[in-house]
Structure 1
Amino acid sequence: MNTRYFFYVIIIIGLFTSCGLIHNLPDSASPNTGADPNLWYSFVDQNGNFYPDNWKKNYGIPSNKAARDPYSLMKIATDRGDREQLLAFERGNMLRLSKRIEPKKRVFILVHGFNADEESVVKQYKYIADHIVTNPKNDEIIRFYWDGLRSTSPFRSAKNWFSAASFSQMAGEFGLRRILNNMADKDVYIISHSRGASVVMSAISNPEYNTSFSAQAKDIHNIDIERAKPLLENKNRITCIMLAPAIGLSEFQYTDTTTNTKKFVDLSTQVKKIHITINGTDKMLKKFFGFLSNKLTPTDLGYKEDSFNALKKNYTIFSMTDFTGMSSHDFSRYIRDPRFKQMLREESIQVQ
């Protein structure tokens, strides 16, 4: 057997024989709220629904937080007849956020990747916030959390990758997009890591979902993906800074059903810049063997300069910073590398 495909088979076996994934759940009883002077917390479940106040008491938590079965706020609420109550909380929460942001000029949104838990992400979010020069009167920082699942086992983390892939799309289209739709005429800077890039892309464009996943979302979780609200043209100016983007060209493409061909999506005019990192030595983006980077839910955008160049031909708003030489995929390593500060400066963000 060809060595390349032997490793391929080993990976597949590992993926399907692994288990033990854990949901990323909030610790706070009020995960979606503001804190003075300029900090807002947003936490969504696997389908992009915002956790309401006292969620543990009212919704309960999965046994041992195990992710063998989906944990869906909307499913729980619908099954017991509380759907409207959950939707009312979300509307009220977005109204409070909108009023809080209204007098601000800039909004920074931080988005973590897959295989992360709230406790570890808090440290990275704080590091970024501490190194960006902000004015509480003019700036707001939103810490966005989503259910990217987590695991400590390499094989389980690999299996997690496939489970979290669709969740990232839901978190973006139904969670982050609602946040963007509740602000207008702002300079918005979205800083993401790893699969967080998919959350961002799903918020600013219309993602394509796996057919079976779409059916499950509707039949089991009572969420009709086809009825997602579009990104509103609110005259925001959006800059996306994507560290180790664990996405591929497919995130920027859709299937034209008339010609049955792939075409590049039209991005909102609000999206002024997408600044990504390229790292040919990032082991996770490489998927250890390189040839897998554009397979098994692609990660080639953050790994191969060829993928960046292909997008650059279609979108003039792209730029890149080369992080090659660093083998780690860790959020903490990327933001502590001097090149990250340089990226911020290039986008006119003052750092300290």
Structure 2
Amino acid sequence: MLPSDRLSFIILLIVTFEVCVAEQSELICSHQPIVALAGDDVILPCYLDPPISASSETVVWTKPGLDPKYIHFHRDGRLIYDNQNPSYNFRTRLFVDELQNGNVSMKIFNAKISDAGKYFCILESMLEEASIQLTVGVISTPITEVILHNFKDIVLRCESKGWYPEPEVVWLDGEGNLLSAGPTETVRGPDDLYTVSSRVTVEKRHSNNFTCRVQQKDINQTRETHIYVPGIKRNQKNENEQTEKEKDEQQDVEKSVIPRKPNYMKKQNAVENTCEDLPILKGKKEEDQRDQRDKMERSQREETSGTGNNTEDEKQKTLENTKRQRKTSCSDGERLGRREEEWRKSL
């Protein structure tokens, strides 16, 4: 066999081997949806299995509904920009150094909500095609507030703006138990982002800790905010009203059980203070009071009649003696009153 024929035979064997291997290789993309947050970079993994070189292959990434339909068009070792959709300009790339290992994955920079959807990777010469799902999410932290706080109920409100896809809102108490809340209000803005808000009415609890949780299961994202509601305190006016009410009730009880105490105490320094202010007692007490008055009046008349010519000093002494006798009489009356009260208590 001539050397030229031998070289041709070797080349034919190599080509035949590659074709056979290519026919056995399969293009595989991730079966699990790829999740990314807006603004992040994301990789859509695809590869040949068993691995063979795809360096000489035309690798095409596309997405249904686009015009032009190509996201990334790789041929002869470079990206063909003329065929690329403008929304992906300068935002995609292949791992060129990994093509020889059968890695045809594509990277998307600065993911957008509009990037979400189903992608197809196509190897034209091998007639291989595979698909992969991309989900792009947007999240935000919820804000909570107390919108009603009275002596019985507490109404809390939670709002979170800028979610995609649409999330759900749940409320939890301090022990992590789900609370029954009203329906979630959802508004979708012109940017396709969702704003959600929810209200819940709760009773006053010991811990007063509550949690608003906003979650999106498709992108496996959760954000929550905790709120502490201080204990309910009565205002000063209510406290005063309650205190007065309690005092009145206590006095009513005392009146029904204990007889009212006579008020025998009078101002000692008033000249006009007489025993006429004391309650009239029955029996012997009344007689003692009359006797005391009579003695005082007789003594005063005798002193007045017998001392018509006395000096001013003597008149002043007489007046002071009269006051002293009246005070003594009042004290006797008070002692009689206390004795009667003690006698009643002993019954």
With the shorter chain as reference, the TM-score category is under 0.3
TM-score normalised by the chain length of structure 1: 0.16
TM-score normalised by the chain length of structure 2: 0.16
Structure with more helix by fraction: 1
Relative contact order, CA 8 A, sep 6+: which one is greater? 1
State the structure with more CA Rg. Answer: 2
Structure with more strand by fraction: 2
